[in-house]
Amino acid sequence: MNPYQAPLAEMKFLLDKVFDAPQTWASLPEIAETVDLDTAIAIMDEADKISRELIHPINRSGDEQGVVHQDAKVITPDGFKEVYNQYAEGGWVGFCGDPEFGGMGMPKMLGVLVDEMAYSACNSFTLYGSLTAGAALCINAHGSEELKEKYLPMMYCGEWAGAMDMTEPQAGSDLRNIRTKATPNDDGSYNISGSKIFITGGDHDLTENVIHLVLAKLPDSNGISLFLVPKIKVDDQGNLGESNGVTVGSIEHKMGLKASATCVMNYDDAQGYLIGSPNRGLVCMFTMMNYERLAIGIQGLGTSQAAYQMAADYAKERVQGVAAGGSPTGATSDPILVHGDVRRMLLNIRVLTEAGRALSVLTGQQLDIAKFGEGDAQAKASRYVGLLTPVSKAFLSDRGLDAAITAQQVFGGHGYIRETGIEQLVRDTRIAQIYEGTNGIQAIDFLGRKVTGDNLVALTEFVTECTDKLTSLTQVDESHKAKVIVLFDELLAAAKMVNDNKSTQPAIVNASAVDFLDAFGHILYGYFWLLMSDAASNEPDAEFASQKRYLSDFYIAKMLPKAKYHLAQVREGDSTVMSMPENLF
């Protein structure tokens, strides 16, 4: 099996030609000072190299060996610590971090591509850095100057890691019921006591310290507050002191991600520091959650790309049967890539993965404008981030599992064998549909809060911009443009139907949300394919241009119609979903 190789041509094409990163970056002074296209390309080349040569080699062995909880310590598989040290030294943990505290200040539009490469190389490994970057983002946004100065530089440089502690056994999707308590101390700190489960990177041996962001309740309050709780106390000079009442109860035995430490964390009067205002912890935590939601979508995207490469390589090498019209080479057996069903599977993965990358780059771009831009542009980008974040999380992670399962099918029986490696992708990526808010929760956030919650304003604005852009394209079939535009119109009509009925049919949002998000995703990908096909037609590389045209034609013919199915589901409403009495389930 060939090792992972990043799709650099596609990545550069998206940045430069489809989403015009140079223009975006030039409009944002803080980014313009930091990076230009040439630098970005050099960074991507380096990210490809470390993903392939450094991270990917510990992927399979990490799965077989897994994390071990022994003598109250959590031990990562062989090689993880060494690779993490090199990764951190390269500055990748603080890649998009605030330069004032030692981050590299890179745009998210580039960061999503770097993240994709790392996730393609190893899901488990990449989570450690991703959680750290997310925690740092939250501290930077809501923490006091003192906390920022004390913790951020050590997190950006990778010396200390981060974790997000929300879930408790009785409080998962519904965090109202958490029981972890925070008692104020005289010095302004708090004593935190309670237990958390499913804590990714809750403890490990990659770093000396782990900085936990813990949701807890203040005395006599039902509000939820957020606290920074280091595993090991840090003195005023930034030195590590004594341990802080933070211990690992156990590690979870999981379907996959076996090299990622998922911990039960116990807090016994651990010293913590309030982040943001009292009882406003969820708002602060959502800064991290939204970051992680995009990152988890990219976990699915990275998995899709890795799955495609493995399956395509195998389909070119594996010889079995003869092409339906006779062997093109006159051989008695052909590579299985000649078979229509194998091509269908590979094309399915490929078109969803390339459009998925476009979604991640667009979301990254809007995050950058929302963070570094100003005025109307900034406000609009914030609305788009709100729309696109749940879609990126859910649609990319759903397509990630589909891709891994489809790629596994290309391998036939060999795909079920652990040594082949493709079944690990299925197991590793499955959780991406669940954690950081299940994909059902994402869909409800999208349809309930982001779409109908503001009376379709943001969605209409976004769709109008897409259809205007489509109308202006000159190098794609008019009939293809018309198909996507009609579906966008039907999507808006379906959204209006839900919005009009939600007061009299309170369950309609919940019951229709997943289909609505899936419809939007499939239409959006049609839009992306026409953008890409149009942009590629101007590329000097004629093969690249014709490849994007083939893929775009396949998407419009074969995948776009799925949107119709999902729209029909939304239009069907919720009556058949809600009417059966509970005792008949």
Active site residues: 436
Minimum distance of its own copies from residue 107's CB (angstroms):
31
Q: What is the nearest approach in angstroms of its own copies to the Cβ of residue 296?
A: 13
CB-wise, 258 or 357, nearer to its own copies? 258
Q: Looking at this protein, which amino acid is placed at residue 164?
A: M
Residue 308: which of 275, 354, 272 has the closest Cα? Answer: 354
Instruction: Name the 3-class secondary structure at 130.
Output: helix
Instruction: Provide the sign of the torsion angle of the four alpha carbons 268, 272, 278, 283, taken in this order.
Output: negative
Asked if 124 contacts 258 with a C-beta cutoff of 8 angstroms, the reply is yes
Q: Is the CB of residue 255 less than 8 Å from the CB of residue 304? A: no
Nearer to its own copies, 471 or 546 (CB): 546
**Shortest reach from residue 467's CB to its own copies, in Å:** 23
Q: Residue 312 or residue 385: which is nearer to its own copies going by CB?
A: 312
Per DSSP, 324 falls in state T
Query: Do the Cβ atoms of 273 and 242 come closer than 8 Å?
Result: no
Please identify, using beta-carbon distances, which residue of 95 and 529 lies nearer to its own copies. 529
- Can you tell me the distance from the alpha carbon of 570 to that of 512, in angstroms, rounded to the nearest whole number? 5
CB of 126 to its own copies, least distance (A): 17
User: Per-residue DSSP letters for 514-581?
Assistant: HHHHHHHHHHHHHHHHHHHHHHHTT-S-HHHHHHHHHHHHHIIIIITTHHHHHHHHHHH-SHHHH-S-
Strands 209-216 and 225-230, bridge-based pairing: antiparallel
Q: Is 386 exposed, middle or buried (0-12, 13-18, 19+ CB in 10 A)?
A: buried
Q: Pick between residue 24 and residue 569 the one whose CB is nearest to its own copies.
A: 569
Cβ burial 96-113 (10 Å sphere, 16+ → b, else e):
bbbeebbbbbbbbbbbbb
- Would you say 28 or 345 has its CB closer to its own copies? 345
Return d(Cα 368, Cα 382) in angstroms, integer.
Answer: 10
Nearer to its own copies, 170 or 455 (CB): 170
How near is the Cβ of 453 to its own copies at its closest, in Å?
14
Residues in Cβ contact with 7 at an 8 Å cutoff, skipping those fewer than 6 apart: 305, 357
Q: How far is the CB of 56 from its own copies (least distance, A)?
A: 20
Work out the angle at residue 115's Cα, subtended by the Cα atoms of residues 76 and 383, and round it to the nearest 5 degrees: 130
**Nearest Cα residue to 302 out of 547, 521, 122, 451:** 122
